[in-house]
Amino acid sequence: MATLDELLATIGDACRCHDVRAFSSSLLEHSNQLTRSNRARFLRKSGIAFKIAFVPRFEEDIRLKQASGYATICNELSRQSGGQAGAELCKALAARLSRLDHTLIEQVGFGSLSLFACSFGRHPASSECRDATIRIAEVCRDKRETLQDLTSLDLSLLVNGFSKWPDQPALREAAVKIATEILCRMRSDDRLSAFTQQHLATLVNGFGKWRGDECFHTAVVTIADELLRRSDQLSDFTQQQLASLVNVFSKWPEESSCRKAAIAISNELLRRSDHVTNFSPQRLANFVNGFSRWPGEFAARQVTVKIAGELVRRALSVDQLGDFAHHDLASLVNGFSKWTKEVACLTATVAIADVVICHTRHAKRLSCFRYQELGMLVNGFSKWRKDTTCRLATIAIADEVLARSRGVDGVSCITDQGLPNLVNGFSKWPQQASLRDATAAIAQEVVCRARRADRLSEFTPQGLAILLDGFSKWPTAVPLREAATAIAREVLVRACRTDRLSHFTGGGLAMLANGLSKWRQEASSRSATVAIAQEILRRAHQIGEFSEQELAHLVRAFSNRPEEVTSREVAVVISEEVLRRISETGRFTEQEFADLENGLIKWSEVAICRRAAAAIGNLRARRDGRRTWCRPSSCKEEQGIALVNAPSTAPLQRTTIQCGTSQQVPQPRAAHLYD
């Protein structure tokens, strides 16, 4: 077995002779014989020596067909074990490669280019590595026919490297070419049989960085199908590979192939459940967060419960959860929150909440957590609002947000996704003053963003709905009222577009309407509520897709403005749907029935609303064993039946929405609905 000095001497000889093959042989074949400390020293010295002796000759050696040796050495030394010397070597080669002319870079060959791309991808912060990878991508993009000759290893390495800079157009375009090649091979007789487990996992992990592109979506689904075809070989996949697959499949939870592949993986993990103690913190987090996209699947729940138990076991050990990264803790809480009825998930979440509280006892408190992580933690803790530890951890996070809000940047660096997460969590404990104050700081940031030229256009429809719903828990606070007004104006801006409010889900519309009802005196709230009503009327044929809770929330919200024509029209549509569900299989909770009944009787002059309220009242009475207050067959006003919460005597109004110079006025519904 060669010693460190002997290997260093061999490396020195290779440098003097400019023998790339000898250098590569010494590096790959003999370095593993050294102890860990000696190997680290050997790799560091090798990186320095290669950079000095060979990098200046890079172009010349490419002409001499030596590019593969450079790529192999770069791939080996660019790893973490290569240290700083390996990283510097990688950057130096990247700088050289990015300047190669078209003829010379083609002589490198795709096998070597794929190794270079993978190596450069290990240093995403380096501009040299980024530019060199873009140069490689341009070659791949412009040589579509060449991709047919590449091995599965080459394709996976290229995607792995390209995915480190997903925002770069050239890298995305080259990845599209590779995804297309994968789809072509899937249609052949051999399908993807030449791809190993590592190749498939690497491709899926890379394609997952471009979630918005249909081509990558299709490629991931195709690989999920291949995985299902090999379901009896899942034992050959490593923990890391399975974690990567689940993490990406969860980005398309509605896809049947992705769901089935994830279930197959969860069953494989159950077979390996005795080895869960060997899972790294990151893999535990990836599995839990991934499986949480299918909370109704038995195997996914069972795996999550196993992981929750393992987390509790580690929390009780000496080091507790100190080796978990903050992002992993946040991902775990986010995942566990999808199974609120599982005691193990609650116990594990409480253990993480304890970690958060412990951080507040140190000098840095929670300053080491990013806003994204704080938002995920708060959002998860809020699912167990009755737990004291989760509440205290949320208060600690609110204190941290307040402390940061007083700094120079305030909370301006929180993303448009992070703001709703924080507000949604804080609003679950409205009686806590610190949570109200932290929410007020966020509300002020929302107002600031609304004053910009693009208003609040960067927020998703769901994000706006969550913000407004959270702010409505403190309707008397001035900053929250101002933020609600800003959101109402943004809703009006979107309502005047061609697609109107079509991007809002039924739940989102219900949250908006319910939130706006807390500021019913505001003109912008009134106009936005009318816009929401108009959107629901446009979707009247889809009212069956609204949940029972959403219907109840809509009625409760619009009943605060019974004098509005559009409010009454929505009440008519919902009344018809409520009667249909009562006669079929609709399952309303007692609270939902109460909201519907108390709301619909505000329009007791409308026959369909009167009948729906009476039917609900009779059902509630029968449930309570009370005497029914109205017979379904003869519930008419002329019978002299006194209704609770009598309808408003105010005349009907039709509020118009100003969109530039035009007005949007909903068409009146058929008169027979108001008999």
What's 284-341 look like in SS3? HHHHHHHHCCCCCCHHHHHHHHHHHHHHHHHHCCCCCCCCCCHHHHHHHHHHHCCCCC
pLDDT of residue 333: 98
Position 514 in a domain: yes
564 and 445: one domain?
A: no
Domain-located, residue 230: no
The reply to whether 47 falls in a domain is no
Residues 514, 555: one domain?
no
Residue 448 shares a structural domain with residue 558: no
Report how many domains make up the chain: 2
244 domain-assigned = no
Same-domain status, 610 and 631: yes
Give me the residues of the chain with pLDDT under 70, please.
1, 144-145, 318-319, 453, 585-586, 626-675
pLDDT, residue 586, reads: 62
Indicate whether 486 and 597 sit together in one domain: no
Bridge partners, residue 658, by sequence: 663
- The answer to whether residues 645 and 577 belong to one domain is yes
Q: Are residue 621 and residue 560 in the same domain, yes or no?
A: yes
What pLDDT is attached to residue 601?
94
* Contact (Cβ atoms closer than 8 angstroms) between residue 377 and residue 407: no
What pLDDT score was predicted for residue 142? 85
Q: Is residue 397 part of a domain?
A: no
Which residue range(s) make up the domain with 566?
542-675
Last residue of a domain, one of 469, 504, 538: 538
pLDDT at position 661, please? 40
Residue 93 placed within a domain: no
Same domain, 521 and 647: no
The total number of residues written for the chain in this structure: 675
Task: Find residue 653's DSSP bridge partners.
Answer: 564
* pLDDT one-digit tens code per residue, 398-436: 999 999 999 888 899 999 999 999 999 999 999 999 999
- Give yes or no: residues 567 and 608 share one domain: yes
pLDDT in tens, 246-259: 999 999 999 999 99
Question: Is 621 found in the same domain as 512?
Answer: no
**Same domain, yes or no, for 553 and 673?**
yes
Question: In terms of domains, do 532 and 547 share one?
Answer: no
Q: What is the pLDDT at residue 91?
A: 96
Of the residues 487, 520, 538, which one is the last residue of a structural domain? 538
* Amino acid (1-letter code) at residue 489: R
Residue-level pLDDT at 585: 61
- 442 assigned to some structural domain: yes
Task: Give me the DSSP letters along 196-227.
Answer: -HHHHHHHHHHHGGGTT-HHHHHHHHHHHHHH
Using alpha carbons, select from 388, 379, 369 the residue that is nearest to residue 335: 379
Residue finishing a domain among 514, 538, 562: 538
